[in-house]
Copies of this chain bind each other. A is one copy, B any other.
């Protein structure tokens, strides 16, 4: 699971982490602020943040005792690129299928109109 794309997908597979990312699109936040809504320890949240950081989704700086967390939205592009690449391949395939069906239709239409 060592490549970044895998880490990004794995990071977002957890609803709590997805929710954190969602909230970070609004504003940077401290670990405590991020932890507040959840019924888990701050240590657990700290671990989640490490996962997000290892995936490159988030960076952490320092402000006195606080560790502000910042979303790095560019990493989304990694996923989007992968998804769109294969979605497009899948769609091309359907277009080829449509073409084949259309061709079948062309060769059939002149012959037998009332076929089952």
Q: A13-B6, A13-B9 are in contact. Are A21 and B73 (CB under 8 A)?
A: no
Q: Is A36 an interface residue (CB 8 A)?
A: no
This chain: copies in complex: 2
Within A52-93, the residues touching B (CB, 8 Å) are 71, 73, 76, 79-80, 82-84, 86-87, 89-91, 93
Chain A contact patch, size range? 20 to 34
Residue from the list B26, B83, B93 in contact with A76, Cβ < 8 A: B83
A86 contacts B13, CB within 8 Å? no
Q: Is A101 an interface residue (CB 8 A)?
A: no
Q: CB-CB < 8 A to A76: which residues of B?
A: 83, 86-87
Q: Is A108 an interface residue (CB 8 A)?
A: no
Compute how far the CA of A15 lies from the CA of B25 in the bound complex, rounded to whole angstroms. 28
